[in-house]
Chain A
Amino acid sequence: MMDGSMKDIGTSVQHTIGLIVDDEAGVLARVIGLFSGRGYNIESLTVAAVANSGKRSRVTIVTSGTQMAIEQVKAQLDRLVPVHDVTDLTTDGPFVSRDLALVKVSGGGEHRIEALRIAEAFRANVVDSTINSFIFELTGSAEKLNAFVELMRELGLVEVARTGAAALSRGETGLQD
């Protein structure tokens, strides 16, 4: 590459990054602070202690940027002291990514029946119900959830809560802790 500047190389692409971190006070602030301080995007971020590895948490971050920016994100994350391992799931092979959404829809008559029918087609569960409303729970790819929410918009959508992506690479191996 003869162009000395890295700023404009490549187009912005979405990447899913997996992290294993020490489950200690402030670790999430370090990760988020790195993103905000350096101007990286966070499209979603999930974090929770992962039971089978003692005092460790797993963070899944969906971000977007040029290949060079993503390499920076990884390098910067890797030098945080409580970070054990970093992987760019998007470039490191096939991976599975799932969101969970809770979707509240209110209304009666045809709208209510149609909402229930579409929920069945999406394999959503009804986790709360009143005479005039449902809360649907569904998991899947971000695209599937987006599609469901769009359809519900026509049918009395009240509010949505989503977890953001949790993701693992396919196959036998995984992140080191």
Chain B
Amino acid sequence: MTIMAKAALNKKEASTQLMSGAELILRALKDLGVDVIFGYPGGAVLPIYDALYKQDDIKHILVRHEQAATHAAEGYARATGKPGVVLVTSGPGATNAVTGLTDAMLDSIPMICITGQVARHLIGSDAFQEADTVGITRHCTKHNYLVKDAADIVDVFHEAFYVATKGRPGPVVIDMPKDVQIEKAVYHLGAITEHKTYKPQTDGDEAAIREAVALLAAAERPIIYAGGGIINSGPEASALLTEFAQVTGMPVTNTLMGLGCYPASDKQFLGMLGMHGTWEANHSMHDCDVMLAIGARFDDRVTGRLEAFSPGSKKIHVDIDLSSINKTVHVDVPIIGDARSVLRRFLDIWAEEGYGRRQPTLDGWWQQIAEWREKKCLSYTDSDSVIIPQKALERLHALTQGRDTIISTEVGQHQMWAAQYLGFDKPNHWLTSGGLGTMGYGLPAAVGAQIAFPDSLCIDVAGEASIQMNIQELGTIVQYNLPVKIFIMNNEFMGMVRQWQDMSYEGRRSETYSSALPDFVALAEAYGIKGLRVEDPAKLDATIQEMIDHDGPVMLDCRIAKLENVFPMVPAGAAHNEMLLSSDAPSKPTDDEALAVV
């Protein structure tokens, strides 16, 4: 049935379909293809929860804190490519969601967050659990709405999904006064194909694309720098990126958010770039003559010192968001468009012009890259007496091969090691908080991914500090019997901050020791979850295997070397080609200006 015919039919039945605002919300969500929402009830959303109770189309996942609902929705969105949906109450429910909204904003994750609000006549009166949600979330959402009339609900929800998913994705808040949830209005089938003002450009400018392809074809030292925008553009964009790299023979590096958009096991992959990127990726970025940045935004963690960032290259920047162009780094060929559509044109034009695989002219470049690779920048000194964190992740990677493994992380050293040592060959299998760097992201994100993919192996690679920021979600995984594995890399420090204190603050470890840690095994068992602990390197493999094999959730307390640092590292205020390796002596004192920037 066409949309027109459907609409006509609905118009006919519409006259009889008077629904409450709460029912309209759920019906609109169903029409929009939503089958799961993450939420927490409260006074101002009671009518919606009552409507939820009376239906079976949409499954509600009860989290233990509203922040976790937002991260679960992010994990769900990142793993499925569909928007994540959150339902929270007014006041503290909404303010607790702010961190996750901001996280989704910075990482361009499509999310719809429905917040309860006090009744219309109470707005502005400092009513119980009233907060100016639209005001508070204006800065951390792509857009937000206060719905003042039940008759607007369907159209607002359809528009909100359109805004959240089109162009550069992001979070959208819909604030729903309680009396509007009760008010009755006529249902109609919403539809939106084009918005009156928000019309993101998806097809790149043809002349600019041709100019870019010609630049790449003539390049002697090209590099593809691909980010999370490829993942947002969908699996086809990853496939096209891979095809383009294979056809052209060019090296590829990924941002933290882009990991998995190009197969890490491929020989043209240089690893992640940036502050904790590989020697070969950062040196290639610094020395390249043509850079193709696609779905990436020249983040300060990627560029290092701006003045010294890839000084000799022509830069091509493909991005769906005009405001990403020339924001921090000047580019020579900007292309506004969707990565998938633009890559398709790149491939077509490359073939049409008969450029082919320019292996002879890139030989010298690959030879140089091979020399950089010889540095073996991710090597580390193993130990028989203590588990080295890099080793732990290498073993986790090896022992999870052949399974559909989805990794989420918290934020800190373990996150960087996970990015470095768990090679991702597929998109949508790596869930991490890149832009905002939100500790406490990983466990709820794993919940969201596991809900979407019950049969996948969902592992939260955590630190002992981060995991405590949303540890209450152990309750959620038990309630829904989610076989999430929590791999805690326990070094008894807020390791990344401790590393910075050691490197830049003369080792004054101010408040970074994780005192009074719980017994994680006993804690897991208190929730009815299997708890494991490993301290002996000889038992590492067996313990990881036991975690993987267990049919249910597991929390593994992996005791690792306490003072290991993350390398390579572009230190504060340095350029890409001024990286430190683990073998390097302690860095020179950092000046105040550099400390302030990074």
Contacts and interface: CB of A to CB of B under 8 A. Distances in A.
A76 B325 CA distance: 11
Nearest to B303: A4
A4 B309 contact: yes
Contacts of B163: 81
Interface stretch (B211-219, B326-334, B506-514): B326-334
B67 interface: no
Interface stretch (A26-34, A39-47, A93-101, A122-130): A26-34
Given A2-B312, A6-B328, A83-B197, A76 B323 contact: yes
Interface string A9-37: 10000000000001001100110010001
Interface in A72-90: 72, 75-76, 78-84
Nearest to B324: A75
Given A5-B329, A72-B323, A72-B327, 15 more contacts: A3-B311, A4-B308, A5-B307, A5-B330, A7-B328, A29-B138, A72-B326, A78-B322, A79-B167, A79-B198, A79-B323, A80-B143, A81-B163, A81-B198, A84-B197
Contacts of B167: 79
A7 B323 contact: no
Which of B303, B312, B327 gathers most chain A CB within 10 Å? Answer: B327
B interface residue count range (under 10 / 10 to 19 / 20 to 34 / 35 or more): 20 to 34
A3 B330 CA distance: 8
B114 to A, nearest CB: 18
Given A4-B309, A33-B138, A81-B143, A9 B330 contact: yes
Given A25-B146, A71-B326, A75-B322, A4 B310 contact: yes
Nearest to B170: A79
A90 to B, nearest CB: 18
From A6, A7, A37, A71, residue with most partner B Cβ within 10 Å: A6
A151 interface: no
Interface in B122-181: 134-135, 138-139, 142-143, 146, 163, 167-168
Q: Which 3 A-B pairs have the closest CB atoms?
A: A75-B323, A5-B306, A4-B309
A79 B310 contact: no
A6 B327 contact: yes
Query: B interface, by DSSP: helix, strand, loop or mixed?
Result: loop
B321 interface: yes
A6 B326 contact: yes
9 contacts: A4-B310, A6-B329, A7-B306, A26-B138, A37-B139, A68-B326, A72-B326, A79-B321, A81-B197
A110 B198 CA distance: 59
Contacts of A79: 167-168, 198, 321-323
Interface string B325-355: 1111110000000000000000000000000
Contacts of A76: 323
A47 to B, nearest CB: 17
A147 interface: no
Contacts of A81: 142-143, 163, 195, 197-198
A3 B322 CA distance: 21
A51 interface: no
Contact of A30 (B138, B146, B325, B326): B138
Interface string B285-326: 000000000000000000100111111100000000111011
Contacts of B139: 33, 37
A78 B322 CA distance: 9
A121 interface: no
Contacts of A30: 138
Contact of B197 (A2, A3, A22, A72): A22
Interface of B: 134-135, 138-139, 142-143, 146, 163, 167-168, 195-198, 303, 306-312, 321-323, 325-330
Contacts of A161: none
B307 A4 contact: yes
A140 to B, nearest CB: 33
A4 B167 CA distance: 27
Nearest to A4: B309
Contacts of B168: 79
B171 to A, nearest CB: 13
A1 interface: yes
Contacts of A33: 138-139
B143 A4 contact: no
A13 B327 CA distance: 18
Nearest to B308: A4
Nearest to B163: A81
Contacts of B329: 4-6
Contacts of A68: 326, 330
Nearest to B196: A84
Contacts of B146: 25-26
A25 B134 CA distance: 10
Nearest to A80: B143
Contacts of B135: 26, 29
A2 to B, nearest CB: 6
A19 to B, nearest CB: 11
A80 B198 CA distance: 8
B311 A4 contact: yes
Contacts of A82: 197
Contacts of B134: 26
Interface in A41-71: 68, 71
Q: Taking each of B163, B312, B330, which has the highest tally of chain A beta carbons within 10 Å of its own beta carbon?
A: B330
A102 B168 CA distance: 45
B307 A3 contact: yes
Nearest to B172: A81
Contacts of A2: 311-312
Contacts of A72: 323, 326-327
A83 B308 CA distance: 37
A69 to B, nearest CB: 10
A75 B326 CA distance: 10
